[in-house]
Amino acid sequence: MKNKKMKLARIEKDLSQAQLAEAVGVTRQTIGMIEAGGYNPTLKLCIAICRALDKTLDDLFWEE
């Protein structure tokens, strides 16, 4: 499942995939795969992404 919420939050913060990847310590490809739904990140990575984007786990990763 694509993570459109994460992509929107990243764009709102005016960050590229590469900039977010650098902030959380992964590759740009990893961020792209998470946004495309091709990679299931660890809880540790989810928390790092949330902190970088000033969002909660529910905001970005909870499925309705």
Q: What is the pTM of this model?
A: 0.92
Enclosing domain of residue 32:
4-61
DSSP state of 56: -
Q: Summarize pLDDT for 35-55 with one digit per residue, the tens.
A: 999 999 999 999 999 999 999
CA dist 18 and 63 (Å) reads: 25
The predicted pLDDT at position 58 comes to: 95
Instruction: For residue 22, give the CATH number of its domain.
Output: 1.10.260.40
Structural domains of the chain, count:
1
36 Cα distance to chain centroid: 10
The predicted pLDDT at position 6 comes to: 96
Q: Summarize pLDDT for 18-31 with one digit per residue, the tens.
A: 999 999 999 999 99
